[in-house]
Amino acid sequence: SEPGRLMTKFYLKFDTMKLIVKASACCSLEDLLHIICRSAEISWIQLRRNEKKTLNDINSDKEGRLRFHVVSENGKKKKRIQTREDKIFVLVNDCLTGDPLMHDLSLNQETNSICSNGCRIAKCMKEYFIYKRSYRSAINSMLLAKCLDQKLWESSLFLLKQLPGIGIVTAKALKTAGVDSFESLATADARKLESATGRNYPFGNQIKESLSSLPPKIDIQIEDAGNKQGKSTITVTLSRQSQAVRSSKQNYV
């Protein structure tokens, strides 16, 4: 069967594949994250008593950093993290902000495992939902896989961390200077970039040149070509708007 083939292809455990098969036909990003948090691949992660206060503080999210929160049945944020699934959900959401508050070595190792296993599970979900023709879920699965691979939400304020030579400190400095996207970086002056980050020449030129590793921009136009004999014909036109100078296997978000 197709689920069995995908389980073998992505090296997933049977219990994880059962969660995917039972999933709704229209899963949101949050739904998919919950599936990953319950997966057998990361069931070894346990909630320790000394971690609860830190996890509670992160989930309370007074600064509005997190995209999703652990919530109770009434829809309000949980004040107390009580299960390992809750812990995993908080850790991955903290990580995907691009500027995590969690700096404990043990928890960082667990977060790395969540992201690497979660990326593999999300890729499997994408192919399964395509097989089931649940295209909304497939798109969300593909987006989640890329985000977990880069450890960044696609809407993160620190997307430039994906480029070589840019860490969180440099990304924050660039954001303060109004450079927080690939587009704004491309139009920025190299010398102003060096001034904003406190880096020496030719740092500005180097990070602008690193944009050449990005995949080219594609414009998609969809037209309804009419309906004949009960069948609709759709014309899809792809136009390359920019040319990548060199190829890259990295998955940017």
Instruction: Say how far apart CA 144 and CA 34 lie, in whole Å.
Output: 12
| pLDDT of amino acid 206 | 86
The reply to whether the predicted model has a pTM over 0.85 is: no
Distances (CA, A) of 117 to 31, 41, 98: 17, 7, 18
Segments in the chain below pLDDT 50:
245, 247
Q: Which residue has the tokens 């944020």?
A: 77
Q: Report the Cα 200 to chain-centroid distance in Å.
A: 32
| pLDDT of amino acid 117 | 95
Q: Do domains 2-150 and 159-213 have the same CATH topology?
A: no
Question: Residue 114: in which H helix or E strand, if any?
Answer: helix 105-131
Q: What are the sequence ranges of the domains in the chain?
A: 2-150, 159-213
CATH number of 2-150: 1.10.3380.10
Q: Left if phi > 0, otherwise alpha if psi is -120 to 50, otherwise beta: which for 56? A: alpha
| pLDDT of amino acid 253 | 67
Is domain 159-213 in CATH 1.10.287, yes or no? no
